[in-house]
Structure 1
Amino acid sequence: MITMENIIRDGHPTLREVAKEVTLPPSEEEIQTLKSMLEFLINSQNPEIAEKYGLRSGIGLAAPQINIAKRMIAIYLKDENEKIHSYALFNPKIISHSVEGAYLSAGEGCLSVDEAIPGFVPRHARITVKGIAIDGTEVKVRLKGLLAIVFQHEIDHLNGVMFYDHIDSKNPLKPIENALPLDR
């Protein structure tokens, strides 16, 4: 079981590495790691389990955040209609994106960053992602809104990029041109 102790913090060199592709088919160890990453997110959103194990609530996790420099991400979130979106992917890639931008009006957070960093993070409003699911099937998903932002945040981790790298350091709260502010 992954706990907060497994999550490396900002400043750790693995967070700045470009993660390596997972050789397919993935090993049993890689499959178990990806399942554990998804399980962590599910547990972190369950108030009783989160309190028992001291978990910070998360909606996305990339393997570099648990000090594994491989291209693996897990995402688990409920949308505004209470629909659950659950993904665990090997080698995810953004294959297309909108010209229109989006950003979270409250800014972004990260399980590897302990302090709040104010500022708007420019993202694409819509993206299409391809990857390989735990069962080995190819997945292609079109995403928008919060889900698109979470995928971009996690894929950035695979490329050694932190969310705050995108924030305008001179004017972090300046609204982003041609971008839609999202509440969640």
Structure 2
Amino acid sequence: MATRPILILPEPILRKVAVPIATIDERVKTLAKDMLETMYDAPGVGLAAPQIGVGERIIVVDPVTEDEEEPRPMVLVNPEVIAASEETKVWEEGCLSIPDYTEDVIRPACVTVAYLDLDGNRREVEADGLLAVVLQHEIDHLNGVLFIDYLSRLKRERVTKRFTKQARQATV
């Protein structure tokens, strides 16, 4: 296992649609382990492959909220939201690829997500609360969507300009 660098806005891969994973092999399993290690090291509660420069449809999540809880890592290959509640919830979101910035985002309160596990079995998970938010947030990453896309145009442009400026200054 290895911790991988997390890409920061405005990295172009963060805006690209990731491709489905055709075969779950050792490479994919190693990628999943690296993603979990990277997520825990950050620390975060979710990570999508594009955030570490891999344009494939795989996410890892572990929305443990209390220090005393045991980790419950989930690896979801080719995840997709197949049902979402009409009821919505406002949640303060942040992102490892947009560090030190949070905003309230409105999302469906409950979702059902279909995915493949690392053995290639089709699974479904029904989620609400933090897990629902994290799943939606990470699946958005696979579609080139960032949580700032749910904000007003003015807020989104401010954040994008700030991170673009930081990226330019880092290369000078």
Shared fold (TM-score, shorter chain, > 0.5): yes
Which consecutive residues of structure 2, in runs of 5 or more, have no partner in the other structure? 157-172
1:108 aligns with 2:93: yes
What's the counterpart of residue 142 of structure 1?
Answer: 126
- Separation (CA, whole Å) in 1 of partners of 2:119 and 2:33: 11
Q: CA deviation at 1:168?
A: 2.9
Number of paired residues?
154
What's the counterpart of residue 70 of structure 1?
Answer: 56
1:91 aligns with 2:78: yes
- Separation (CA, whole Å) in 1 of partners of 2:16 and 2:155: 27
1:127-147 residue CA offsets vs partner (Å, 9 max, x unmatched): 000101112221110000110
- Separation (CA, whole Å) in 2 of partners of 1:149 and 1:36: 22
What's the counterpart of residue 124 of structure 1?
Answer: 108
SS at match of 2:148: helix
Change (3 A) 1:134 1:75: same
SS at match of 1:78: coil
Identity %: 38
Which structure dedicates a bigger proportion of its chain to helix? Answer: 2
Of 20, 28, 31, the match for 1:30: 28
AA in 2 matched with 1:156: D
- Separation (CA, whole Å) in 2 of partners of 1:129 and 1:135: 17
Q: CA deviation at 1:82?
A: 3.3
Q: CA deviation at 1:169?
A: 4.2
Q: CA deviation at 1:66?
A: 0.5
- Separation (CA, whole Å) in 1 of partners of 2:9 and 2:154: 21
Q: Structure 1 length normalisation: TM-score?
A: 0.77
Q: Structure 2 length normalisation: TM-score?
A: 0.82
Of 16, 38, 41, the match for 1:40: 38
What's the counterpart of residue 162 of structure 2?
Answer: none
What's the counterpart of residue 2 of structure 1?
Answer: 3
AA in 2 matched with 1:38: L
Q: CA deviation at 1:41?
A: 2.6
Of 38, 56, 59, the match for 2:45: 59
